[in-house]
Structure 1
Amino acid sequence: MDHKEFVKTLDPDVRTELTTKSDRAGLKRLSAHGGWILVLGCYVAVGAPFWGLALIPLGICIVFLFTLLHETVHSTPFQAARLNAVVGHVCSILVIVPNTWFRYFHLAHHKHTNDPLNDPELETPKPITTQDYIWHISALPYWANVAKLIWRQAKGDVAAPYLPERAEPSVMWQARLMIALYALAVLLVLTGWGWIFWCWMLPVALGQPFLRAYLLAEHGLCPPVANMFENTRTTFTNRVVRFLAWNMPYHAEHHAYPAVPFHKLPELHSLASDQLQSTSDGYVQFHSEYISGTKR
């Protein structure tokens, strides 16, 4: 059965239970995730022994706030709408992804998942050759694209097929605010606030390739069909990755029923596991298969 038929089979009480949001669950996870960023950031900031070794773990913790930003797009990590909005905007600044633009971009992705003609994620093609793969994982093209995107939006060029006209002013002003904040951050670094570079800028650059590798597994090698159990991958992984990614390795389940908050996805997985058609036993397996299928 496809994802729509599966959701219809769920008892109404089960649906209610699965889609119940919780400020407590969200704040608990946010406190833990933010706590690791704070601990690692302080370790780097004070120049503790071997502090350089903490830069990559710190960067991974920061860039994976993208998965929380993603959740706020669906308004699911917290019950309070204002909390979802505030956390989403903060994560947006930290991971350098325009909030309102990403909301509409991502919802269009959900509506047209893996549709070559309509999924906006596929406007950036998946790597085909080994060289493409290496270039993609390096995150260098990502940084170039996001810089161009924010600059273009700040100039007022915000039109996109998935972006409603009413949202265009917000997208433009958010881009301008982001540029102003990043310019201020650079100025502060140049005037002696070096910890901003060491605790945020450099770690984010070092962590981004890990996020690129993670995100590629969500739909890479999946067929361009309408069934979310086929066009989206669930990757079986360890608790650390599930923690950092807010349970989004259960990605087919998330696409099948986006209203389910992160803390209920393991429960949804237990109900939908027999329906999954695109899975990998870990990210090493996925990337090994992906690389073996690329053109030399």
Structure 2
Amino acid sequence: MATAITPLIERQALAELNTLRDGPGWLRLASHLLTIGLGGVLWRLESLPLPLRLAGLVISGVGLATCFAPLHECGHRTVFRSKRLNDVVAWWMGLLSFYNADFYRRYHQWHHRYTHQPGLDPELEDPVPTTFAAYLRELSGWNWWTGKLRGHARLLWGDLSQVPYLSPEIIPQVRRSIRLQFGVYSLLAALSLVAANGFLLWSWLLPLAIGQPFLRLLLLAEHSGCAYSDDGLANTRTTLTLAPVRWLMWNMPFHAEHHLYPSLPFHALPAAHTWIGPRLQHLDRGYLAVHRDLLGRLASLGQPA
């Protein structure tokens, strides 16, 4: 796809935008983790007023849910110059956001290869909501939680031989990764029981559940209502939004730019937008505007026959 749209960005500018730098990644990662930590402290301090504690719960939960963003960026290995460092950070961010990084990287590569093409893009295995009830269920996070539980169970014990993006050589690596991840969860659960503090529930599961609707609202906008085709200018949406949202999502709202040039690091996407934005078919101002539009045509959002 990149060869088809190369004229959108001049060669020299593209080379500069593609330059990997560690500084922006470390700064964004540290500030993201600090947000989760500060929110968690506010939530668990019983001496604070309830409204302040609930604000901390929301902040911590949104921070945990949006760990999906650094997982995604490190999965592309564009946050840091070291491939190994990208993989390690992706794994831990996946652990916090209840994704498995080793599986997700292969799944997501397939999504990029066949973006929004029915029968090929694995993201389309999760149907777009076409009724108001289905829309609310999607935003609640219910579909995500149940899908994650089924998916992780399959990774742990199921038959993976028919998954097109998992080669026979990769499957043992993915199984080791998911088993290690659930080993960490089991250890945290055991420590929570011994300490009788409910840490796993109150400091991770509950906040993550609270933050999940925020993430669902953003992710549903990326391709819903866009063309079911291989045209990168038409099958993905960029949403112009507030700076805090761009910060939490590591510039993922510039999603069409990311799909057209997936080698670009997250900090280069705003500059890439100045080149690409005028050519996009789906460039929306704000997520509320996107969802108003989607709600107005829910019945037509399903996959083409």
Structure 2 length-normalised TM:
0.92
After superposition, residues 96-245 of structure 1 pair within 5 angstroms as: 96-159=98-161, 160-191=163-194, 192-245=196-249
- Measured after TM superposition, the shift of residue 99 of structure 1 is 1.2
Contact 2:41 2:56 in 1 (8 A): no
Alignment match, 2:276: 272
CA distance, structure 2, for counterparts of residue 122 and residue 151 of structure 1: 20
CA distance, structure 2, for counterparts of residue 21 and residue 197 of structure 1: 37
Letter in 2 for 1:91: M
Contact 1:7 1:257 in 2 (8 A): no
- Measured after TM superposition, the shift of residue 183 of structure 1 is 2.4
Q: 1:13-42: CA deviations, max 9, x gaps?
A: 212101011111110111111111111112
- Measured after TM superposition, the shift of residue 9 of structure 1 is 5.1
Letter in 2 for 1:243: W
CA distance, structure 2, for counterparts of residue 10 and residue 279 of structure 1: 18
* RMSD of aligned alpha carbons: 1.7
Alignment match, 1:18: 17
- Measured after TM superposition, the shift of residue 138 of structure 1 is 1.1
Contact 1:44 1:198 in 2 (8 A): no
Contact 2:39 2:58 in 1 (8 A): no
- Measured after TM superposition, the shift of residue 152 of structure 1 is 1.5
- Measured after TM superposition, the shift of residue 156 of structure 1 is 4.7
- Measured after TM superposition, the shift of residue 102 of structure 1 is 0.5
- Measured after TM superposition, the shift of residue 12 of structure 1 is 2.8
CA distance, structure 1, for counterparts of residue 159 and residue 210 of structure 2: 30
Alignment match, 1:91: 93
Contact 1:100 1:167 in 2 (8 A): no
Contact 2:225 2:294 in 1 (8 A): yes
Match of 1:82 among 69, 81, 84: 84
- Measured after TM superposition, the shift of residue 295 of structure 1 is 4.1
CA distance, structure 2, for counterparts of residue 289 and residue 9 of structure 1: 28
Q: 1:240-283: CA deviations, max 9, x gaps?
A: 10000000100000000000000010110011111111122111
Alignment match, 2:38: 39
Relative to structure 2, which stretch is displaced further, 182-191 or 26-35? 182-191
Match of 1:71 among 62, 70, 73: 73
Letter in 1 for 2:115: T
Aligned: 1:283 with 2:290: no
CA distance, structure 2, for counterparts of residue 230 and residue 127 of structure 1: 20
SS of corresponding position for 1:280: strand
CA distance, structure 1, for counterparts of residue 165 and residue 55 of structure 2: 41
Count of aligned positions = 295
- Measured after TM superposition, the shift of residue 195 of structure 1 is 3.4
Relative to structure 2, which stretch is displaced further, 251-260 or 32-41? 32-41
CA distance, structure 1, for counterparts of residue 91 and residue 242 of structure 2: 28
Structure 1 length-normalised TM:
0.95
Letter in 2 for 1:236: L
CA distance, structure 2, for counterparts of residue 214 and residue 162 of structure 1: 25
Letter in 2 for 1:184: L
Alignment match, 2:49: 49
Contact 1:234 1:251 in 2 (8 A): yes
- Measured after TM superposition, the shift of residue 52 of structure 1 is 2.2
- Measured after TM superposition, the shift of residue 69 of structure 1 is 0.4
CA distance, structure 2, for counterparts of residue 224 and residue 246 of structure 1: 26
Q: Where in structure 1 are there 5+ consecutive unaligned residues?
A: none
Q: Where in structure 2 are there 5+ consecutive unaligned residues?
A: 301-305
- Measured after TM superposition, the shift of residue 108 of structure 1 is 0.3
CA distance, structure 2, for counterparts of residue 177 and residue 193 of structure 1: 24
Q: 1:168-227: CA deviations, max 9, x gaps?
A: 001112222222222232233333133332222210011111111110000000011211
- Measured after TM superposition, the shift of residue 46 of structure 1 is 2.3
CA distance, structure 2, for counterparts of residue 81 and residue 108 of structure 1: 19
Letter in 1 for 2:188: A
- Measured after TM superposition, the shift of residue 123 of structure 1 is 0.7
